[in-house]
Structure 1
Amino acid sequence: MIFRQLFDARSSTYTYLLADDDSREAVIIDPVYEQARRDAALVRELDLKLLATLDTHVHADHVTGAWLLRRELGSAISVASSANAQGADRGLSAGELVSFGRHQLEVRATPGHTDGCLSYVLDGGAMVFTGDALLIRGAGRTDFQQGDARTLYRSVHTQIFSLPDDCLVFPAHDYAGRTASTVAEERALNPRLGGKRSEADFVGYMHNLGLPHPKQIDVALPANMRCGAPAEGEAPPADPDWAPLRYSYAGIWELDALWLEEHLGEVTLVDVREPEEFEGPLGHIAGATLIPLGELAARVDELPADKPVVAVCRSGGRSTQATVVLRKAGRERVANLAGGMIHWLDLGLKTT
């Protein structure tokens, strides 16, 4: 199986990509709105077919990327049926199975953090994705969104702690850099729920946390009740429109050589190789401006500001860094020539 744990630093949210390595069918758990481009790029680069996005609950600290990924990749939006979110393609209930290739996720109801929380158990207990019900050495708060500490205690003990000892635990958040745990660890060591802590112990602990109101709740909750769709009058984030760019998992906008060959007059092409390479065996593209990468930051002003800038190098590596330099200098319409001069020549395109 293909498995990736992704992270959003702003909300400390983990997003999980799971895929069958034979059929290439995939699902994503708890996508984040601001990271939808990243997630879509990874799906494309791994040559996967995203069947569905699965949210563990209606989040209060970030907006889901489910709607954006459906628009981009055609994936079905799946949430708890009890959440009553508008725009979902599939409402999930306890006991249902979500299949991708030869793998399955069993849906388990784990309310308590909210009344619509779900956990997803992979292939009978290899992994469990617990949302905010069970965190690593912690648990989700229970003081808003129909939260209830007694309900959460029972959910975790009956639906998660009943899984095999070696079942890997992957939560929706962690605020201390922890990435995974096991059922046995949390059952024994979780300071809120583990060991000999009783339901009364847990309730007393949770009632005295004194946590501040979630900062994003007034934005996140209404948006997540729409599965991340923009409100009326709002516009989703727009991709650059000056060329048919694609966004890479590395976070770089890239441009295809064939489009560039037909539109050289519409862009400024900056070659960031060294002079001996520029005049060497690979040659260079007609009209390219030579500015070695090490000099680019100090010479950005030499590039016209009225045209997009496309960076090129031998293979596309240094020019990737050049786009970062250009953006730091305030240039917004910037792209990397994918594959660099090697790919350009492989396509039989002309050089000087």
Structure 2
Amino acid sequence: MIFRQLFEPVSSTYTYLLGCEETGKAVLIDPVISAVDRDLAELARLGLTLAYSLDTHIHADHITAGLELKKRTGSLIAGPAIDALPCTDVGVEEGKDLVVGNLRLQPIHTPGHTDGHFAYLLGDRLFTGDALLIDGCGRTDFQNGSADDLFESVRQKLFALPDDTLVYPAHDYQDRRVSTIAQEKRRNPRLGEAISLERFREIMDGLNLPYPKFIDHAVPGNRQCGVCPPDLTDNLRRYCEQIEHSPQG
């Protein structure tokens, strides 16, 4: 398997490129519209053909690149079937693998951050989206989020995987790239095995996070698989139109 972990610094988003060496087909998990040129250049450098873009959920902090990638490569847009987006070509469901060449991604429904959130398992690599971050988790106070649902998703589904399963999150804000199920069980301050459901509820209720500055633009745009809304402020429009020249990791 060909594997690349790519970083978009404005939203601190990790995009994952997975390629089948035998067929040359590839998938991008959680691509960001401002990094399309970077992703296409990496695909070309590796000699891969993009078969799918695949989102873990409807994002609130950036615009997905699914639609733009489809326009430029002919790739199919895959995402959680539960969201029922008309622009999605393939709706992923738990129990039905997404096949990319000889790679088989297992979708795992992990509601809590959003009600339609999915993680994806490929061998010993788990792409957790916002459900499980390194030493943390996504917030649960919008998009039908639920602390109870997230606790069950992580503790009953993700923590049931082998301890040496590698955890690749959708975001990290401290330059960390990978964890393991064993590490998150042991030391995650929100969802580690020592934390009770009652304590988790208290933690999430006490975060007092500000309203996401981009959510009112990102969610409608992502419900269209990656459309920049017309009413953006200048700085957010620059973000959407890829005028931002932040270094890529």
Q: Structure 2-normalised TM-score?
A: 0.91
Instruction: State whether residues 85 and 224 of structure 1, in contact with CA within 8 Å, keep that contact through their aligned partners in structure 2.
Output: no
Kindly state the Cα deviation for residue 167 of structure 1 after the two structures are TM-superposed: 0.6
Is 1:59–2:59 an aligned residue pair? yes
- 1:1-352 to structure 2, matched below 5 A, reads 1-123=1-123, 126-230=124-228
* Structure 2 Cα separation of the partners of residues 52 and 188 of structure 1: 34
Q: Deviations over 1:143-177 (max 9, x none)?
A: 11101000000000121101111110000001111
Deviations 1:199-245 (A, max 9, x none): 1111111011000111111110110000003558999959xxxxxxx
Query: Looking at CA atoms only, which structure, 1 or 2, has the larger radius of gyration?
Result: 1
Q: Structure 1 residue 84: deviation in Å? A: 2.4
CA-to-partner distance for each residue in 1:16-73, whole Å, 9 max, x for gaps?
0000112111100000010011111111121101110110000000000111111111
Q: SS where residue 135 of structure 1 aligns? A: coil
Secondary structure of the corresponding residue to residue 143 of structure 2: coil
Does the residue aligned with 2:156 lie in a helix, a strand or coil?
A: helix
Further displaced range: 145-154 or 90-99: 90-99
Q: What residue number does 1:254 align with?
A: none
Tell me how far apart the structure 1 counterparts of residues 191 and 241 of structure 2 sit (CA, whole Å).
41
Which of 1 and 2 has higher RCO (CA within 8 Å, sep 6+)?
A: 2
Structure 2 Cα separation of the partners of residues 233 and 174 of structure 1: 29
Q: Does the C-alpha gap of structure 1 residues 49 and 160 become closer, same or farther in structure 2, counting only changes over 3 Å?
A: same
CA distance in 2, matches of 1:151, 1:233: 34
- Tell me the amino acid that sits aligned with residue 166 of structure 2: L
Whether contact under 8 Å (1:32, 1:63) holds in the other structure is yes
- Shift in Å at residue 85 of structure 1? 2.2
The Cα of 1:195 is off from its aligned counterpart by: 2.8
Checking the alignment, whether the CA contact within 8 Å between 1:84 and 1:225 is kept in structure 2 is no
Counterpart secondary structure, 1:106: strand
CA contact (8 A) 1:169 1:181 kept: yes
Q: Report the Cα offset of residue 179 of structure 1.
A: 0.5
Amino acid at match of 1:97: D
Q: With the length of structure 1 as denominator, give the TM-score of the two structures.
A: 0.65
Where do 5+ consecutive residues of structure 1 fail to align?
A: 239-249, 252-352
Partner amino acid for 1:223? G
Cα distance in 2 between the residues matched to 1:67 and 1:187: 36
CA contact (8 A) 2:79 2:90 kept: yes
Which stretches of structure 1, 4 residues or longer, exceed 6 Å deviation after superposition?
232-236
State the identity as a percent: 47
Label 1:233 to 1:135 Cα distance change in 2 as closer, same or farther (>3 A).
closer
Aligned AA (1:210):
N
